[in-house]
Each structure stands twice: as C-alpha cells, then as structure tokens.
Structure 1
C-alpha cells in the first residue's frame, strides 16, 4: 500500500473537508514570529476551551498519552506555584505562563491533528509557513547585499537571528525527498526551490543552535537512518565526539581567531558553556551562559533542604552579584535575572528536582508512544513519518531547552511544540483506526 493510499484510508472524509486546521497551523506558526506570544496564548486557550466542550458532549475518549503530558505539567506548575508564594508577583505569573505555554501548544497541535482531513495538509502548512518566514529573513540580504561581507555578529544584528520554523520546514522537505507530490502535494521543481530557500535561510542565521537543530532533526527524520540505525548511530556518535574534541583543542590552538566570526563562535562553544564563577566583566561577557548557569546552581544549592526537592518557586530571581548589561550598550544593567538560557537550570531553581523529573517525564511519555507506533509499521506507512517527527521534535526540544530554554522559550520553539502535538494526534487517529 502506498503512503498516499494509506493516509487517505486513515483520514479521508466523504463530506466536505474543513480547511481551518491547516490555516490555523500556518497562522500560529507565522504568528509566533511576528506577533506578541501572549496574544497567541490567549487564542490557543480559547481554542482548547471550545475543544474541551465538544469533547465533553461527544463520545471520544481522552488520549492517555496527552493526558500524561498534561498531568506532568500540572505537577510542575503546582510545585512552582506553591513554592513561590510570596515571590514578586510579575515574575511569579510570568513563570506560570512560561511553564504552561509548552503544554498548551502541544494540546493545540493535538486538536488540529484530530480536526484536519489529511495529515499531509498539516505538513504542507508547516512547510509553506516556513518558506514564507525564510523569505522574510532573506529579504534583509536582498535589500542590503553588503551584509554578506560583515561578521556573523553584525549580520545577526541586522538581519535577525533566524527562525526555527524554517528548520522544521527544511526537515519535512528532506524527509519527503523524491515523493513531494504524494506526501506534500508539491511539484518537484517547487519543492527544490523551497529546499534552497529554507536551507539558505538556516545557513545565513550563522547560528550554532540552528545547526544542532537541523542535524539532530535530520538524524531522527531522515529515511537514510531507517536501516542499520544502530551501526549508523554508533558511527555518528564517534564522529561527534571526535569533532567536539577537535573543537575544544582548536580554541586553544587558535587564540587570535575573530570571536565575532561564526568560526570563532564555533571554536569557543565549549568555553561559553563552561560553568564557572567568573569575576571580571570581560570573561563574563564572553562566557555568560556558563556564568549564569553557575549562579543558578549556587542559588539552588544555597536553598533550604526541602527546596532542593521543590525549588524556590515561580517568581524567584537569581542574584548575579553585581549589575551587568545583558545585550547592547543601551540595555539597562541588571543584577537579578528571572530566566536563563539553560531551561533545566530555570526549572531547577524554580521547581527543584520534582520539576525536572516532571518535565522529562512529559516528553518521555510521547517519545515511548512514538517508538511503539513506529516499530511495527513499514517504511512507507504514515505511522513512520508521524513517529519519526514526533521523536525528532522531542529530541530537538530537549537539546534546545538546554541551550536556549527550548520548551520554556515563549516563541522560538513554538513550531516544534505544535509539531509534537500534531504528530501525537495523527498517531492517535491511526491507532483508533486500527482498533476499529
């Protein structure tokens, strides 16, 4: 059975198919790039309220996997809420938003998957929205070609730091390579144009995190990895370790490399993440992520014994020890910071060991489900596509939570959170179809 026929057998409807789910995917994906994230959170909550009402009056069972994800997030939120009583109100409620936003987006993606007529239309919506955002990013270089002669820092300051939605669109296009018409309703020539646009946008971000996201996502979603995965994984791990060791040594071997260039930043990646209590401003500015991580760990360790378990609550800020400008020279000096680049340190300070475990469990549950659903399917089945993208999106979220606060970033990883929910919903529909 072909992929096209298999999907049609799962999701085709005899009545006129609604188009709002795929338009909603496109709107939300682009919206998190150009609109205030808080507005979109409100819209998502409205959608979920109406969905709950329809579910209450319908005969559908609540998906056990999504229920597990929601239950874990509730534990995380309650831990931070109770432990944070008395902390500053503004940061307190902002932390509630950050910690609930990721499960809201997953739930919205799940609802859209149950409502859409064809999984391929949802994938196409992610692709088209990603291509549009890629064009938005590339327009800066078209308007000012001289940007290409500047340093990576200057380019990112003028053209922006890029958008992870574009990387998701690229991964979908690469996964469907050679079968674009059947899987995405795209002519081959147009699909190649889309690949060039999204790849070019990803490259011109000069972002190390973007590079990690694309490589990790490709590992999970590429059909190349479907056969002999264990052997290929071992080879890739060995190559990665060698690359990391070379990069670590090269940073000491080339001390005069321009730190504002992409190559300079790549060589200094480990130095920036090295956890240390730096005392001079130059070292702090060059290795800020490692410095803020050290301050977060120190704050966690200095808490009461019971706070090691539940953290110091939502609204807790970490004392850097002195005032520091974070960003441009025009920024206001800060001494107390409420958020971190490292999302796991953020959770540790706010919710302790319970919060860390709850978050990891909330992503482990759908990962195990995806692995189970994809294990028995053939390579051409839609279950494999859904399983691979669900696992890939979860892997990306875990790594980016460590690097750029990932799941707790208010907008950057919204497309991957939507994809987690969407693929989870698609697998749920397929499972119900099999059981019927």
Structure 2
C-alpha cells in the first residue's frame, strides 16, 4: 500500500512539473520534458474520445510534412515547426496517461498544482517590488509572467468544489481560493479575465440555450459594454502610469486583433495592432501563392514576410514561421484543410457524454467552456500551440477522468445490481 501511494505522488509530481515547465519560457526544456513524460507514461489502451483529438492534431502535422516535400525550406525552421505542431499531441498524451496513475485525485492534483504555481508567481512579484521597484503594470508582468490559463482552471474547480467532489477542508479550500484568485488577478491579463468569465458561465450552465441563459449572457454583454464605454470615456493613455496601461490595453481590444488596415509608418498604430498585421500579411502571402497553397498551406518551414524588421522576443525579425494567431499559423502550414480539421478538434469538445453522474456533467460543461475559450485563445494567443500553453495536458487529463470514472462507477452499479438480484 505505501508503495502505491508513493508511486501516485510521484506521478502527481510529474504532472505538476509538466504543467509548470512552460512557465520557464524555455521551449527546448519544455519539449524535452513533455516528450520524455509522454514516452515513459505510455499506456495500452486509449478511449475513442482522446483518439479523435490525437487524430486531428496528427493529421495537421502529417499534412504540413507532406506539403513540405514540395517546397525548399531551411532545416532549422522545418524542425522548429515540427516541435510546435507536435506539442499538443504530447500534451494530450501526458494528460491522458498520467490521469490513469491517479484517477481518484485528478481535481485535487489540478488545484494543488495551481496553488504551487500561484505561490511562485506571488513570490516573483514580491521580489520585483522589493528589489527592482517594479510599480507599473508592464514591469509587474515582465517579472511575474504574462498569463496563466491553468491557474484559472484551478480557481474554477475551487469555486465549484462541491460539484467536482473536491475533498478539501473548508479552511484549505478558502486558503487556496484566495491565493490563486489573487495570483490570477496579478497577471493583469485580459485573456485570463475573459477565460474566467467564459468558464464560470459554462459551469453555471449558461451556454445551454434557454430563456434563463440568454438573459444572463445578454446581461453580461450589457455590463461589459457599459464597462468598455466607461474606459473609452476615461480615455487611458498608452504607457500610462499604474493601472492606466492595463485599461489602455482593454481599450484597444476591438482593433488589436481585427483591424484590416494598418499604417506601417505609424509606430503606435503598427505596434498596437501588430497581431492584425501578422494576419493580414499571412492571408496576402498564402492567397498570392495560388489555389493549392490556400487549400493545403505552405508546409513545415514556411515563413511570412513582414516586409520590415520587427522586434520579437529578443531579436529583430523580418521573416516569422510562427504567428500569434493559432488559426493563422495552422492556415499558413496546412491551409484551409488543416484549419477545418483544427476546428473539428475544438468542436469535439462540445460533444457531451450522457451520464447520470453529476461530476461527469460538470466535466462536460468544463469542456464546453474550454471549447468556447479556445476559439478566443487561438485568435489572440495561438491556443494549444502557444509555447507557454498547457491546456492540452488538462484536456487529455479530463478525457481520461471522464472515461475512468464512468467505467468504474458503472461497474459498481452493475455489481450492486447483481448482488441485489
């Protein structure tokens, strides 16, 4: 018995490591840890649900490889694209395979890992405030991190802890909720705030079309519109002090990722709407290459010509192979065909598994919220292809949990029924 417990703890620790390693912003390290973890935890059986997800991402990868053979690209960019496109496959495998090692402690592990990440984040912020005098929004995010989707999931599980059958004491639940909530807020990430609202509405069942849900969603939209109008009235300035910089980022949301005309000579216009600029140049380039490129993409190793050098990360680049937009990245590599398959992978998250178990219905709702959020996340942050993203691990974990829980409890009900007979 002690040996089994120790093994469970080790696998939970491995899960936490796989979730946290992307936060270190070293993709080579993330790729090494994820690929190693996926291999050493490989299992004998997989559910149809996870196989469908794996198939979608595998087809996208294979399609990009096939198109690559008809092009001439640099080996470095081919290998780089391969690691990006295989990343969600590793993530799904890790989540699914590790769940089989601790199926009864899934949500406890999610919350504990989220708490661990929150403590590190808050310590980094304290360090930045104490030793680097970080007082602006940009400084705090530079030292502490730019976003944390996983912590939002942990927070949601805590807020709905009874429905997820989380067996924490009231004191522990309150402590974890306060720390994780504060950590999420201190990222000051627009995407995380939107993610929280989407997941919260999903778990409350408001994405099911009925009079009550329509009333709630419309009310949220009205409140959001009023809040945005207030920000427009305040008119926060670019690079303003304190919270003003964050309000400015909210102010430019409607244009930032959807603007169709950008003045490259105007630094403010170009910088604020750079994500839209990437999308514009990608569509122009792919459509210019002709019908086959539009349908099948330009393959692994393909790059977009930005027509000018742009400071990205720690270097000036004119040609980029990976974009901020996940949909556009898939479109560049695999065209409309790959994009269609990518949408199928998101659509599959909306398919409910019928069950009489309340916790399974909660997992179904969490999948729906994840699907809605992925549509937004892919448009602004590459979705599951983002270097710092770990949602694919969580998705794989939930697929396995749903399968194992239903199977084990169905067997219990059958056994009880046979005993009664």
TM-score range, shorter chain: 0.7 to 0.9
Which residue matches 2:278? Answer: 292
Q: 1:254-333 maps to which residues of 2 (within 5 A)?
A: 255=235, 257-260=237-240, 261-273=245-257, 274-280=259-265, 281-326=267-312, 331-333=314-316
Partner residue, 1:350: 333
For 1:166 and 1:188, the matched residues in 2 are separated by 19
* Unpaired segments ≥5 residues, structure 2: 415-421
Would you say the 8 A contact 2:61–2:86 is kept in 1?
A: yes
**Which one of the candidate residues 383, 399, 406 is aligned to 1:424?**
399
Q: In the alignment, which residue of structure 1 is the partner of 2:143?
A: 158
Matched, 1:139 2:123: yes
Q: How many Å apart are 1:346 and its aligned residue?
A: 0.9
How far off its partner does 1:408 sit? 0.5
Q: Judging changes above 3 Å, is the alpha-carbon distance between structure 1 residues 148 and 245 closer, same or farther for their aligned structure 2 residues?
A: farther
Alpha carbons 1:393, 1:419 under 8 Å: kept: no
* Number of the residue aligned with 1:234: 214
Q: Is the 8 A contact 1:25 1:122 kept in 2?
A: no
The residue number in structure 2 matching 1:372 is: 353
In 2, Cα distance between equivalents of 1:236 and 1:113:
35
Q: In structure 2, how many angstroms separate the alpha carbons of the residues matched to 1:252 and 1:334?
A: 34
Counterpart of 2:169?
187
The DSSP-based 3-state class of the residue aligned with 2:307 is: strand
Q: Normalising by structure 1, report the TM-score.
A: 0.82
Per-residue deviation, 1:152:
1.8
Q: Give per-residue Cα distances to partners, 1:264-304, cap 9 Å, x unaligned.
A: 11111112122324222331112111111111121122122
**8 Å Cα contact 1:394-1:420 kept in structure 2:** no
1:252–1:215 Cα change, 3 Å: closer
> In the alignment, which residue of structure 1 is the partner of 2:178?
196
Pick closer, same or farther for the CA change 1:333–1:391 going to 2, 3 Å. same
Matches within 5 A, 1:54-93: 55=44, 60=45, 62-85=46-69, 86-93=72-79
Q: Is the 8 A contact 2:304 2:319 kept in 1?
A: yes
- What is the number of residues matched between the two proteins? 400
> Which residue is equivalent to 1:361?
344
Match among 190, 201, 205 for residue 208 of structure 1 = 190
Deviates more, 1:84-93 or 1:311-320: 84-93
Separation of aligned partners in 2, 1:422 and 1:149: 37
Q: What's the Cα RMSD here?
A: 3.0
- Which residue does the alignment assign to 1:167? 152
| Residue ranges of structure 1 left out of the alignment (5+ in a row) | 1-12
Deviations 1:214-272 (A, max 9, x none): 11122223xx4379863343234424544565577667655563454111111111121
Residues 253 and 271 from structure 1, CA distance in 2 versus in 1: closer, same or farther, beyond 3 angstroms? Answer: farther
Question: Is 2:18–2:33's contact at 8 Å kept on the other side of the alignment?
Answer: no
Q: CA deviation at 1:128?
A: 1.4
Helix, strand or coil at the partner of 1:184: coil
**CA drift at 1:103:** 2.0
